[in-house]
């Protein structure tokens, strides 16, 4: 349990396993140690869902392949990891250089109305040989859809070839009526953001529909308007979209991202509107977004901004944050305007909106994953309990587990700078901290670390990065 500093968790874990007849001496706080690269992230979501007493978790494992674990809350028992598919961007052997993995092919996961588990993974725009991408630029990999062969069973999987291969940043949104939407960027940077809709539990999908438009700026052909977006359930039959602008330079590409935007979809007629209720015309361009969906302008001050998450209150009003300079900047819609932003210390995370003025955010930062709470609509924030902390490591967050059980709110991976490899421990954090697991079950690396001894050491400033080869024998690089 190295790195975890939550005494109450240790006591609770010991008590639970003494009662079940299992010695706590062999318990660890992580549920697996074979997460690889950046195993989870907020932008590919959800990566976990609580369904019928079980939390199912998908993450990026060895060779960037998708893996799945499950925790039965009633039986207090873990199962997995099980490999659910093959990511064509994975390299052999696994690189130890942080710039080696592509990471864009992390899995998103959803459980359909019949209990089948679906993963979409493996894409960073799609290889050129897959054909012509009419909605963007080709890149690497192939967006792939797999489903469990049996309901609520992670042991066996099959491919469903029913979505566009030109995708990355896959995001599932499941509606109350059972309809499931798959949102993603239809290619590499210079591509539209789109959705495909399923009304039959992901067995078939409608063709892609463009939501955010990519295009070259007329005033500067070297600059391409692009986006990073996050989609989620709104109130009732609606879906929210929060996004930032990516100033994509064709020559001399950088990670320049600015501003913050919001709009929502009415699923009944698939129309879109801004926070004020004004109807929008899709796909949205940069100029149109600036006029109709802008939440905050950071471009004027040349202050970079990145996407966060968005949740709604019982009135349907959005609460959202964007990330800037090591903080999250929180906004809420007041009915006629956006409340002025308030900065909260934190790297990334997600939020629970309890009422229009009471919000909790679960955020990473400073070697901790802690709650922050406001009771005055975001004007002031108080730091609450920490679910995990370490003096040696930092943590990367997923979004909140869909329909989360209180014992399993969020999945995080541990980042230890002292490691000379890229394997990560993964934790399922609940209100009492991590859910423990017997060490012999949580240790899944086997001989992998020994196999990496001959691989190049982590890169240093000025040192070229070895590209490596994917499973098709092609040299590829990454740009995440």
Catalytic residue IDs: 104, 169
Tell me the β-bridge partners of 402: 49
| Rounded distance between C-alpha atoms, residue 8 and residue 234, angstroms | 36
Partners of 85 in the beta sheet? none
Count Cα atoms within 13 angstroms, Cβ side, for 51.
Answer: 20
Could you give the angle at the alpha carbon of 56 between the alpha carbons of 232 and 391, nearest 5°? 85
Can you say how many angstroms the Cα of residue 273 is from the centroid of all Cα atoms in its chain?
A: 25
Burial class (CB in 10 A: 0-12, 13-18, 19+), 238: middle
Helix count and strand count (H, E) for the chain: 4, 34
Q: What angle do CA 31, 309, 38 make, to 5 degrees?
A: 40
DSSP 248-305: EESSS----EEEEEEEEEETTTTEEE-TT--EE-SSBPHHHHHHHTEEE--TTTT---
Q: In the structure encoding, which two tokens stand for residue 175, read together?
A: 């509606």
Asked if residue 44 lies in contact with residue 37, where contact means CB atoms within 8 angstroms, the answer is no
Spatial separation of the C-alpha atoms in residues 183 and 280, rounded to whole Å: 18
- The strand pairing partners of 344, in sequence order, are 328
Cβ of 153: how many Cβ atoms within 10 Å?
15
Residue 439 three-state SS: helix
Reduce the DSSP state of residue 355 to 3 states and report it: coil
How deeply is 465 buried, as exposed, middle or buried, from its count of CB atoms within 10 A (0-12, 13-18, 19+)?
A: middle
Phi, psi angles (nearest 5°) of residue 337: -165, 165
Stated as kind and residue range, the H or E segment containing 11 is helix 7-19
Structure tokens at 52: 């019928």
Please name which of 300, 351, 312 lies closest in space to residue 329, comparing C-alpha atoms. 351
Task: Work out the number of other CB atoms within 10 angstroms of the CB of residue 410.
Answer: 25
What token pair was written down for 433?
């901290």
Of 194, 209, 249, 204, the residue nearest 225 (C-alpha): 249
């Amino acid at each position: 349990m190295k790195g975890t500093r939550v005494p109450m968790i240790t006591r609770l874990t010991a008590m639970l396993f003494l009662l079940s007849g299992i010695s706590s001496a062999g318990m660890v706080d992580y549920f697996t140690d074979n997460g690889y690269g950046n195993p989870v992230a907020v932008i590919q979501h959800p990566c976990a869902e609580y369904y019928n007493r079980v939390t199912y978790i998908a993450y990026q494992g060895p060779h960037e392949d998708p893996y799945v674990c499950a925790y039965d809350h009633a039986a207090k028992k873990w199962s997995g990891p099980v490999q659910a598919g093959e990511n064509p961007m994975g390299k052999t052997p696994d690189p130890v250089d942080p710039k080696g993995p592509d990471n864009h092919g992390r899995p998103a996961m959803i459980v359909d109305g019949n209990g089948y588990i679906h993963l979409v993974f493996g894409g960073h725009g799609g290889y050129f040989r897959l054909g012509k991408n009419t909605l963007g630029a080709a890149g690497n990999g192939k967006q792939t859809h797999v489903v469990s062969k049996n309901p609520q069973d992670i042991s066996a999987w099959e491919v469903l070839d029913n979505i566009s291969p030109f995708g990355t940043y896959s995001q599932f949104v499941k509606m109350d009526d059972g309809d499931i939407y798959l949102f993603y960027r239809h290619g590499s940077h210079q591509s539209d953001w789109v959705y495909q809709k399923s009304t039959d539990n992901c067995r078939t999908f409608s063709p892609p529909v463009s939501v955010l438009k990519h295009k070259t700026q007329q005033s500067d052909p070297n600059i391409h308007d692009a986006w990073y977006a996050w989609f989620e359930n709104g109130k009732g039959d609606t879906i929210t979209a929060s996004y930032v602008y990516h100033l994509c330079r064709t020559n001399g590409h950088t990670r320049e991202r600015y501003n913050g935007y919001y709009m929502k979809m009415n699923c009944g007629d698939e129309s879109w509107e801004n926070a004020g209720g004004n109807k929008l015309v899709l796909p949205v361009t940069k100029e149109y977004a600036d006029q109709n969906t802008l939440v905050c302008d950071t471009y004027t001050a040349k202050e970079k901004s990145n996407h966060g998450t968005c949740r709604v209150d019982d009135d349907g009003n959005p609460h959202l944050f964007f990330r800037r300079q090591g903080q999250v900047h929180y906004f809420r819609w007041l009915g006629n305007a956006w409340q002025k932003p308030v900065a909260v210390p934190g790297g990334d995370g997600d939020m629970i909106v309890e009422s229009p003025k009471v919000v909790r955010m679960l955020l990473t930062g400073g070697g901790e994953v802690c709650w922050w709470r406001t009771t005055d609509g975001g004007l002031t924030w108080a730091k609450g309990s920490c679910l995990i902390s370490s003096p040696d490591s930092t943590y990367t967050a997923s979004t909140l587990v869909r329909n989360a059980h209180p014992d399993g709110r969020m999945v995080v991976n541990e980042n230890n700078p002292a490691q000379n490899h890229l394997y990560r421990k993964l934790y399922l954090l609940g209100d009492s901290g991590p859910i423990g697991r017997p060490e012999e079950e949580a240790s899944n690396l086997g001989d992998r670390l020994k196999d990496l001894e001959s691989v190049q050491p982590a890169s240093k400033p000025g040192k070229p990065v070895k590209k490596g080869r994917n499973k098709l024998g092609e040299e590829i690089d990454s740009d995440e």
